[in-house]
Structures are given as C-alpha cells and as structure tokens.
Amino acid sequence: MKLLLAVWAALGIGLAAKDTCLDCHSVLDGKLQAPAAAFAGDVHAKRGFHCSDCHGGDPNAEDPQQSMSRAKGYLGKAPRTAIPKVCARCHSDANLIHKFRPQQRVDQLALYQTSVHGKRLAAGDNKVATCIDCHSVHDIRETRDAQSPVHPLRLPSTCARCHASKQHMASYKIPTSQFQDYQTSVHWEALAKRRDLSAPSCATCHGNHGATPPEVSSVAAVCGTCHVLFEDLFNKSPHQPVFAAAGQASCIVCHSNHAIHKPSTAMLAGDASVCAPCHDKESEGGKASAEMAGLIRRLDASLEKSDRILERARSSGMEVSEALLRQTEAKEHLVKARVAVHAFNPAQLRKPVEEGLAIASQTYSSGEQALVERDRRRLFMVVSVTMIFLTLAGLWWTIRRIEQNRSVIP
C-alpha cells in the first residue's frame, strides 16, 4: 500500500484524500449533477484522476467557497478555446502519460494545431471541434472501448454530428453529404456490415488530431497507404503527369472520394464509363479503355463458365478439388488484371488475362471430363441394374414354367 501511495505521489495526481467535487455534485440536480454521474465510467477516473486535475480547486475543502476558490487554482469550466491546452497539460507530458501507457503518443496538441479545426480555433472560431467534441467529456473512454465515440465503428457518425449538419456547416460553405456518401462505399460496407475494424473511415484518410483534407497532390499517397500497387502503377502511368498538371486529384477523378463503390468494367466502357468524359470512343484512350474492359470481361466470363461446370461436377459427387484449386489461381489473374488497369495500358493486362484464360480453359476441360465420367458411371449403373432385374425376371419366369410343367405331369 505504501508503495502504491509512493507511486501515486510520484505521478503527482490523485493526491486528494477525498473528492468533495463529486460529493456535492452527485447530490445536485440536472446539469450540475451530470458530470459527476458520468465520471464513474471515465478512463481518467479509473486511472485515479479527479475533477480538480482539469478544473483546479481544492477537492479536500468542504466549503464550496474554498474548494472553488480562484486562490486555490480553481479554473471552472474551461472556455472552448482553452480545451486543447487543458488536455495537453497531461497528454503532451511524455513522462506522465508513459507511466500509464508506454506507447501512447503525446503529440496530439501539436497535430491539432496543424489541423483545420486547430487553426480555426486559434483564429477564434468557437464552433470547430476540440478534444471534447470527439472524445466526449466526463465519460471519456479509451479508443478501443466500443462505447467510445472514437471507436472505429462509431467514428464516422461522430464526425457526422457536425459534418452532416447543414446548419452547423452553413458558415463554412463545405458539403454535408460526406457521411451519406461514405455509407454507400465499399469502405463502409467493410466497416459497418463486416465489422472490419481495420476498414478505412474518416480518420484513415484525413488524420485524427491533425484532421485535414488531403491535398490534391497527395491523394494517391493517401489511397496508396493501403492500395500500394495501384499507387505504383498510377504514378508510372501517362495519367499521372496529366492529372498533376491539371490539378486533378488522381484516384478521386475515377473513384470519387467518400462514395467509393466496388469497381467494375462498366467504369471502363459503356454509358457509365469514367473514361468517357475525357476520352472520345474513337480516340486512342477510348479504344484502350474498351480493350481493357473487353479483356477483363472475357476472363470473367470464362471463369464463370468454368465455375458453373465445376460446381455441377462437384455437386454430382465427382472429385474436382484439383481443378477448383487451379480455378483460384485463375481468379488471381483476374484480380491482377484489374490492378493492371491502373497502368492504363492494355498490354499490361494481356499477360494476366491470357494466363487466366489458359487456366480457365483447363479447368473447364476438367469439369467436362468429370461430367462425362459421371454420365458414364450413371449409364453403367442403369445397365447393371437393368441386367439384375432381367435376371430376376428370367429366374421368376423359369421357376413359373417349371411349376407349370410339374402341374401338367400326371
């Protein structure tokens, strides 16, 4: 116990023998009681921090005049512009924070000051998000706690509280459709439907404490954090210098930003083609996109055909596991061909497509052979059953004849 107290004393926190702030506020009404009620679940309370660590004052004094005395360092409710610095008193102190969590970062304030929120707050805009708007206040939880507003599954709706509010965003003149668009995306599907906590959400692309929209020139690098090969191919493609010169935001031009849908060959050719606004059908670019779409569709169709015949063979009880294994290899070539689209050169698609087609052709043949073998086995079965019944019928007829002959003999 003495050791524990010594450690606590060394941390310089939680030295209050009692907490009169909680004692009084827990019996008050309404909004004066709410902070005390919420604080029990707060990560700071669990780590031994007290109200006075943020609000100042003397938590040992019974008299409110004393406990909330400015002379005793009482700060009261911090103004919004002061909140980041209040939190940073501890969160920027590596010596303190690392005693609780050795790997915890301590640069949140520095990052916040580079963010759009931080810059606007510094300029006196009180409406922008500060620490408590995302992390909440008095019931702050660790990010990994599913009840935390910044838990990966809850983060998009937390950002949307402000960013989807037309009223809140009116003075900034920025769109409010991001959350709605994001909810149609493949990233949302992975996050919300498949519960994949590593799926990208707002902070993955914009940063968290240093939240800033990616600059046009850095969009490919942002997407390339996960989609590494796409970035490599794009950067070597003829589109890169053209997009850079035109101030176009690379990936976003074709895939959009928040409403990123599952890509398909319809993006390359046809009415919904994303190439069409820049490349006329008869132009070199138009022909290249049509050729790439054709190559992918050919392999896709061939794989589907093989899938169907292999499934028929498998469900008929035939052994086609080797062909199914080869089929996964062929599908891999389809994935590679789709990646190769980002070189915007049909020649780079031909190799994976041809390799995939060759395998799909072999697996189709395997499926066909399996079905031929199945039909042969069925035929032999029908013939052998027929022979057995004919034999039985013959035996029955022979016995009957013998019995008839016996009855004729006097």
Partner 1 sequence: MNWLLGGGFTGSVLSFLYPVLRFVNPPAVPEASVNEVNAGKVAELKPNSAKMVKFGARPALLIRVNETEWRAFSAICTHLNCTVQFHEAKHQIWCACHNGLYDLNGQVVSGPPPKPLEEFAVHIRGEEIVIARRA
**Interface region with partner 1, contact rule CB under 8 A, candidates 6-14, 103-111, 175-183, 333-341:** 333-341
- Residue 134: closest CA among 157, 107, 101: 157
Q: Is 322 in the site for partner 1 (CB under 8 A)?
A: yes
CB atoms inside a 10 Å sphere around CB 302:
21
Within 8 A by CB and 6+ apart from 164, the residues are 176, 177, 178, 179, 180
Read out DSSP for 340-364? Answer: HGGGT-HHHHHHHHHHHHHHHHHHH
Q: Is 335 in the site for partner 1 (CB under 8 A)?
A: yes
Collapsing DSSP to helix, strand or coil, 176 comes out as: coil
State which residue, 125 or 196, has the beta carbon closest to partner 1.
196
Q: Cβ(108)–Cβ(204) under 8 Å?
A: no
- Binding mask 354-383 toward partner 1 (x if CB under 8 A, else -) reads -----------------------xx--xx-
Q: Is 385 in the site for partner 1 (CB under 8 A)?
A: yes
State which residue, 230 or 243, has the beta carbon closest to partner 1.
230
Which residue among 5, 28, 228, 347 contacts partner 1 (CB under 8 A)?
Answer: 228
Q: Cβ(52)–Cβ(16) under 8 Å?
A: yes
Which residue among 89, 329, 401, 403 contacts partner 1 (CB under 8 A)?
Answer: 329
Tell me which residue has tokens 């009404």: 29
Q: Is 325 in the site for partner 1 (CB under 8 A)?
A: yes
**Interface region with partner 1, contact rule CB under 8 A, candidates 32-40, 265-273, 277-285, 314-322:** 314-322
| Exposed e or buried b per residue across 120-147, where buried means at least 16 C-beta atoms within 10 angstroms of its C-beta | ebeeeeeebbbbbbbbbbbbbbeeeeee
Q: Is 229 in the site for partner 1 (CB under 8 A)?
A: yes
Q: Is 399 in the site for partner 1 (CB under 8 A)?
A: no
State which residue, 94 or 335, has the beta carbon closest to partner 1.
335
CA–CA separation, 203 and 217 (whole Å):
19
- Binding mask 14-53 toward partner 1 (x if CB under 8 A, else -) reads ----------------------------------------
- Residue 217: closest CA among 232, 199, 235, 233: 235
State which residue, 97 or 190, has the beta carbon closest to partner 1.
190
Long-range contacts formed by 278-285: CB under 8 A, 24+ apart: 285/344
CA distances from 22 to 28, 270, 285, 362 (A): 10, 66, 70, 75
Question: Which residues ranging from 186 to 225 are in contact with partner 1 (CB under 8 A)?
Answer: 190, 194, 196, 198-199
Which residue among 147, 184, 218, 321 contacts partner 1 (CB under 8 A)?
Answer: 321
**Interface region with partner 1, contact rule CB under 8 A, candidates 133-141, 249-257, 301-309, 323-331:** 323-331
**Interface region with partner 1, contact rule CB under 8 A, candidates 66-74, 211-219, 295-303, 324-332:** 324-332
Q: Cβ(141)–Cβ(42) under 8 Å?
A: yes
How many residues of this chain bind partner 1 (CB under 8 A)?
31
CA–CA separation, 86 and 137 (whole Å):
12
Q: Is 181 in the site for partner 1 (CB under 8 A)?
A: no
Binding residues (CB under 8 A) for partner 1: these are 190, 194, 196, 198-199, 226-230, 314-317, 320-322, 324-325, 328-329, 331-332, 335-336, 339, 377-378, 381-382, 385
